[in-house]
């Protein structure tokens, strides 16, 4: 059905006037562009006055009246005919597409109306559908990835939305270009360590999006595969595989979506520098101290550092690689029970040892200020003994014992420590009330990590 729409203007529009978009449904907004529009233009479509949203001397925004019949429309602008197609209500409309020519596998971004939940069908010049793809996005903006199987040529993209309505004669057109032979030219920076970011430069590295970078050892062995991302033209961003070996020569290729594979480029991974300790802090302390080790090349991705004190392995509590000029940092703990004296801290990375940094383990300093009670009757103790002082440590911080020594040369008897903090011990007297200590005078000592402190004399009646 042919509909005649007449725009009545007080002054003639210039030739070359047009309407955007060239199709739409009832209720959609149209833009008419021209020249010399009056201040209060009037517009009618098939005898119905259309709503004017906004206008100036060169542009007019109006809305297609509800109930307008579908089909081809001729818009007359002061005698100049403009083509327009009215779509069924709810039909999708494409207002803008990000490109007119792409390579198969690349994304095409669309802006329009009622695109949500759509499916795109790629129809060749003979009217045969060659492939379909799903639109991702919302009603006003969506993206579709051009199927990798599409050969070079021109295609009409027929979009069907969630309501089952399509773009019909107003479907956008896309040209598919030959991708050419994917080529890899260079990899930078040279000699990077495992985990380091790499830029792979080349040509025809399409389509844009995720790809795979394959590392094959020239000396033989299993190939390593890591993810990459191509800009679709001349660059892929990736990294050295975490399982790559230091100082090893690899053949590197890029596998692109769609099956294209580049030529191989030789790349040698770097070797970490010799680890060096610049400083440790503190330089001395009792067993249980926390020590910070700072230096260079102490932390290398893919290699596990080992810290030792006098050849004994230390637990690494925290590690942070240097950045912005800061040194590498490793935090270790000196084990409880470590003998007093000076020994060397050494950090070994990938089998290479650093210089030695001396650390002095200080003897544990115990002191007792009070002990209560300090006696018991022949029937045994009624209360445990409370010992106050310092240097006792908390549970798990080294071995600790409280002993009763009668001075006879026999082995002292140990009480049961039931409460332990650095400044307070609560101890059950050996024997308790069932097997009380024999009458006499006992020397009570607190012993920890080779150190001893006299708590006092304990009398048994």
> What CATH number does residue 233 fall under?
2.60.40.10
Environment class of 338 (CB within 10 Å of its CB; exposed 0-12, middle 13-18, buried 19+): buried
Residues 105 and 162 in one domain: yes
Count of the separate structural domains present in the chain:
5
354 and 291 within one domain: yes
Residue at a domain's end among 24, 55, 87 = 87
Lowest average pLDDT, out of 313-317, 384-388, 447-451, goes to 447-451
Q: Are 321 and 293 in contact (CB under 8 A)?
A: no
348/371 same-domain check: no
Over the chain, what is the mean pLDDT?
88
Cα separation of 109 and 97, whole Å? 6
The predicted pLDDT at position 13 comes to: 41
Q: Which two tokens stand for residue 244?
A: 């790559």
> Do 102 and 76 reside in the same domain of the chain?
no
Instruction: Tell whether the model's pLDDT for residue 11 goes beyond 70.
Output: no
The dihedral of CA 202, 204, 207, 212: what is its sign? Answer: negative
Rounded alpha-carbon distances, angstroms, from residue 141 to 111, 113, 144, 232: 5, 8, 10, 22
Residue where a domain stops, chosen among 121, 146, 177: 177
For residue 101, what are its two tokens? Answer: 């020519």
In terms of domains, do 445 and 376 share one? yes
Residue 15 has a pLDDT of 38
pLDDT in tens, 63-73: 888 888 888 87
The count of other CB atoms within 10 Å of the CB of residue 96 is: 12
Kindly tell me if the per-residue pLDDT of 55 is higher than 80.
Answer: yes
* Among candidate residues 177, 200, 235, the one where a domain is terminated: 177
**428 token code pair:** 């059950």
At 77 the pLDDT is 67
Instruction: Return d(Cα 307, Cα 357) in angstroms, integer.
Output: 11
Which residues, including other chains, have CB under 8 Å from residue 266's CB and lie 6 or more apart?
Answer: 218, 249, 250, 251, 252
Residue 224: pLDDT over 80: yes
Calculate the CA 148 to chain-centre distance. Answer: 29
**Are 333 and 280 part of one and the same domain?**
yes
**Rounded-to-10 torsion of CA 203, 205, 207, 209:** -130
Residue 170, SS3 per DSSP: helix
134-156 mean pLDDT = 91
Whether residue 67 contacts residue 26, with contact meaning beta carbons closer than 8 Å, is answered with: yes
φ, ψ of residue 377 in degrees (nearest 5): -85, 180
Q: Give the domain range for residue 354.
A: 276-362
* Percent of the chain at pLDDT exceeding 90: 57
Average pLDDT of 161-172? 91
- The answer to whether 94 and 82 have CB atoms below 8 angstroms apart is no
Q: Which two tokens stand for residue 64?
A: 């297609």
* Cα–Cα distance, 334 to 273 (Å, whole number): 27
**pLDDT at residue 44 tops 50:** yes
Same domain, 109 and 194: no
d(CA 352, CA 368): 46
DSSP string, 283-352: SEEETT-EEEEEEESS--TT--EEEEETTEE-EEEEEE---TTPPEEEEEEPPTTPPSEEEEEEEEETTE
How many Cβ atoms sit within 10 Å of the Cβ of residue 95? 15
Residues 280 and 338 placed together within one structural domain of the fold = yes
Within this chain, do residues 173 and 187 fall inside the same structural domain, yes or no? Answer: no
CA distances (Å), origin 402, targets 48, 69, 79, 419, 456? 104, 101, 112, 12, 11
Q: Which two tokens stand for residue 439?
A: 């009458």
380 & 453 share domain: yes
Question: Who contacts 282 (Cβ-Cβ below 8 Å, separation ≥6)?
Answer: 289, 291
d(CA 291, CA 318): 10
Q: Kindly tell me if the per-residue pLDDT of 10 is higher than 80.
A: no
Pairing of strands 141-145, 107-113: antiparallel
Query: Same domain, yes or no, for 372 and 456?
Result: yes
Rg (CA), the chain: 42
Is it the case that residue 2 has pLDDT exceeding 60?
Answer: no
pLDDT of residue 78: 62
Whether 262 and 306 map to the same domain: the answer is no
Q: Reduced to 3 DSSP states, what percent helix, strand and coil does the chain have, rounded to the nearest 5?
A: 0, 55, 45
pLDDT classification of 9: cutoffs 50, 70, 90: very low
């Amino acid at each position: 059905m042919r509909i005649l729409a007449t725009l009545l203007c007080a002054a003639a529009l210039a030739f070359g006037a047009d309407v955007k978009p060239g199709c739409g449904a009832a209720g959609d907004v149209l833009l008419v562009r021209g020249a010399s529009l009056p201040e209060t233009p009037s517009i009618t479509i098939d005898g119905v006055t259309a709503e004017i949203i906004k206008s100036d001397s060169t542009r007019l925004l109006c809305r297609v009246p509800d109930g307008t019949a579908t089909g081809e429309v001729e818009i007359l602008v002061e005698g100049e005919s403009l083509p327009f197609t009215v779509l069924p209500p709810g039909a999708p409309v494409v207002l803008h597409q990000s490109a007119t020519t792409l390579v198969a596998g690349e994304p095409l971004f669309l802006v329009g109306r009622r695109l949500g939940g759509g499916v795109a069908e790629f129809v060749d010049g003979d009217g045969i559908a060659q492939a379909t793809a799903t639109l991702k996005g919302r009603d006003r903006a969506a993206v579709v990835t051009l199927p990798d199987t599409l050969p070079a040529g021109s295609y009409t993209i027929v979009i069907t939305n969630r309501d089952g309505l399509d773009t019909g004669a107003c479907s956008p057109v896309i040209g598919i270009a030959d991708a050419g032979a994917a080529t890899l030219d260079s990899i930078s920076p040279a000699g990077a360590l495992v985990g380091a970011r790499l830029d792979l430069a080349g040509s025809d590295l399409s389509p844009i999006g995720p790809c795979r970078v394959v590392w094959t050892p020239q000396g033989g062995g299993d190939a390593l595969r890591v993810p990459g991302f191509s800009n679709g033209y001349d660059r892929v961003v990736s990294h050295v595989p975490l399982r790559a070996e230091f100082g090893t020569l690899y053949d590197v290729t890029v596998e692109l979506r769609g099956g294209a594979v580049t030529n191989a480029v030789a790349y040698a991974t770097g070797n970490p520098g010799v680890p060096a300790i610049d400083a440790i802090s503190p330089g001395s302390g009792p067993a249980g101290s926390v020590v910070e080790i700072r230096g260079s090349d102490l932390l290398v991705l893919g290699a596990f550092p080992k810290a030792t004190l006098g050849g004994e392995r230390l637990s690494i509590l925290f590690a942070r690689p240097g950045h912005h000029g800061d040194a590498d940092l490793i935090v270790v703990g000196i084990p409880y029970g470590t003998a007093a004296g000076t020994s060397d801290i050494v950090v070994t990375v990938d089998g290479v040892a650093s210089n030695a940094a001396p650390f002095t383990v200080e003897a544990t300093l115990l002191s007792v200020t009070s002990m209560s009670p300090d006696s018991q009757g022949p029937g045994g103790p009624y209360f445990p003994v409370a010992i106050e002082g310092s240097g006792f440590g908390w549970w798990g911080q080294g071995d600790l014992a409280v002993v009763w020594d009668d001075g006879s040369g026999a082995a002292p008897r140990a009480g049961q420590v039931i409460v332990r903090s650095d400044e307070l011990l609560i101890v059950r007297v050996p024997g308790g009330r069932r097997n009380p200590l024999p009458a006499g005078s006992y020397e009570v000592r607190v012993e920890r990590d080779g150190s001893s402190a006299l708590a006092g004399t304990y009398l048994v009646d």
